Amino acid sequence: MIPHITFLAFLLILGNSDASTPRVDPLVNTNLGLIRGVRASDGDYAMFMGIPYAKVNASNPFGKALPPEPFDGVFEAYDDSAICPQIEEFNNTSVGTLDCLHLNVYVPTKANTRNPVPVLVWIYGGGFSIGFSGRYLYGPKYLVRHDIILVTLNYRLGPYGFMCLDTPENPGNEGFKDQVLALRWIKQNIQAFGGDPNKITLVGESAGGVAVDFHLLSQQEKLFDRAILQSGTAELPIHPEPVKDSPLILAQHLGFDTSDINEAITYLSQLDTNLIIEATSELNLSFRLCVEKPFDGVESFITEDWLQASMPKVKRMPILIGFNENEKISSYFGSDAGDLNPNVFKDKLNLGFDISDPNFAGMEELVKRFYLGDEEVSAENILKIADFDSDYTYNHPTYRSIAKYLDNDASDIYFYVFSYVGDRNFARRKKNINVGGAVHADEIGYLFDISFFDETPNDEDQLMIDRITTLWANFAKDGNPNPILRTSDLLPVAWTPIKKNTPYYYLNLGSELTLETKPFHRRMAFWDLFYRTNRNLQIIHPESD
């Protein structure tokens, strides 16, 4: 159970809990000046928290961020409570400020400039509308004990991060561009912390995994060397058409009626962020990534159809990628599951295809029959509907991404399915789900020390913690999750990678580790044929000019 303490208060307690403890605190010299961290009390590592890597432009908080200012004296990096404006998921309250473009660096004692260690950079999920980088959810001790540096970062969300207006001032994808600024800061400064700037692994879950894939696709320079994508790629059909007049809609809802986008942006820029976030929720506005209209002198992130774009950064890059066994059960069961949508097949397919095209006629019925046979959409068939949603939203997009990486000459691809069910499965526990297997985000509880999981892990959960963090750390070190000696009591199975013209090997991360091939083979074969048949009807918002 989450303790009876407000979310923000808990963040503040975490952020200041170590600052008053007498100790010899670590000091590093970066491009912006000296940063003083704090020794951790739960492991042999140091924490440098709340470091500003960029600054939101107060006159246009929906646009390009500004470079950070040099420190006036020593920066005291003790506070990880910064959170960008959002309605957070734990208490469903509006929180955050625009002073949020911070990152946290967790450094094992072993690391130093003469003995640099690999770096793992974490991008959180949350549908581009929620999320934060602090220890409330992403405690570092399970990962840094493997002698790697962990960096977690904040980026702007919702209207502040993904308002796509096709103007030079607000072209879109600012949340991704925040991440680029953070990655540049890491590349330039991580050596001062004892990190190896040539061994940076970018890892993300859900929307964070989508972000990792878009960094591989983007027009920006290559800022990392390896990639881990957990339940998210650029192939996910999750992107609604951008609402180009969203500033006008928000402004009118908040009392200012105008037909001028610039006037609306100026008005909204002066308002409390909580008002903007609450209005976004009340109006049910969705802000996601988009294809940007290019402008001279404006740095772009994505300006072409990403489904067709080449991926030169992938060449010779090792990639670790996978999904959870029953991803979308969490949308249909548990404490916050909504009513079953009778049009679930149509509404889901509409996000990925032009369902109004005459050539798409009959396709919705084909999908329904594959999953339900002659039965109807009903509560009795909800597990089958969850299978459809999992396959369409996460599983087959992962297959398509793997194929794209192979086409672009990626190095070894390590494919996994997380199927373990224990006491630390994050979403099953949070939503009180008691059916099926591992659901979306469940693996987080084994990679990170989640603050409100305050009990000591049982032996089975500790084994999964040890296994998954060792695999991820090995991959960060060598581009290969296998131990040097190939097998051990901890990792008794060699993880065979996917290469061109090999089977789709995957490691089943369950109570036992098993190497298998092509998960959900029959269902994936159906979607292979479906996408080949309807390739020309796939949509991207907005269409490239």
Q: What is the pLDDT of residues 494-520, one digit of tens each?
A: 999 999 999 999 999 999 999 999 999
Could you tell me the pLDDT band of residue 541, with boundaries at 50, 70 and 90? Answer: low
Kindly report the backbone phi and psi dihedral angles of residue 417, in degrees, each rounded to the nearest multiple of 5, phi listed first: -130, 120
Let me know if residue 264 belongs to a domain: yes
How far, CA to CA in Å, does 314 sit from each of 9, 214, 218, 255?
Answer: 42, 11, 11, 48
Per-residue pLDDT reduced to its tens digit, 92-127: 999 999 999 999 999 999 999 998 999 999 999 999
Q: What is the residue whose two structure tokens read 């991360």?
A: 509
Strand pairing class (513-517; 86-87): unpaired
Residue 280 lies in a domain: yes
* Containing structural domain, residue 375: 7-537
- State the greatest distance between any 2 C-alpha atoms of the chain, in Å, as a whole number: 71
How far is it, in rounded angstroms, from Cα 225 to Cα 259? 46
Residue 12, pLDDT > 50, answer no
Q: Tell whether 543 is covered by a domain.
A: no
Element of type H or E holding 151: strand 149-153
Q: In this structure, is the dihedral angle defined by the CA atoms of residues 322, 528, 340 and 89, taken in order, positive or negative? A: positive
* Whole-prediction pTM: 0.94
- Give 27-63 pLDDT, tens digit per residue: 999 999 999 999 999 999 999 999 999 999 999 999 9
pLDDT in tens, 340-351: 999 999 999 999
- Residues β-bridged to residue 321: 229, 415
The runs of H, that is alpha helices, within 2-157 are 7-16, 141-144
Over 60: is that where the pLDDT of 545 sits? no
User: What pLDDT band is residue 18 in, cutting at 50, 70 and 90?
Assistant: very low
The tokens describing 522, both together, are 């029959």
Q: Is residue 1 part of a domain?
A: no
Contact 541, 290 (CB under 8 A): yes
Could you tell me which of 165, 341, 351 has the C-alpha nearest to residue 261?
A: 165
Is-catalytic flag, 281?
no
pLDDT tens readout for residues 201-235: 999 999 999 999 999 999 899 999 999 999 999 99
How many domains is the chain built from?
A: 1
Q: What angle do CA 194, 199, 204 make, to 5 degrees?
A: 105
389-405 mean pLDDT: 98
Tell me the CATH number at 196.
Answer: 3.40.50.1820
For 31, other C-beta atoms within 10 Å of its C-beta total 10
Least confident of 6-10, 233-237, 324-328: 6-10
Question: Does 391 fall in a domain?
Answer: yes
Q: What is the DSSP code (8-state) at residue 360?
A: G
Q: Looking at 129, 206, 218, 331, which residue is catalytic?
A: 206
- Is 115 inside any structural domain? yes
DSSP symbols for 323-344: EETTGGGGGTSSTT--PPPTTH
Residue at 158 is within a domain: yes
In a domain, 542, yes or no: no
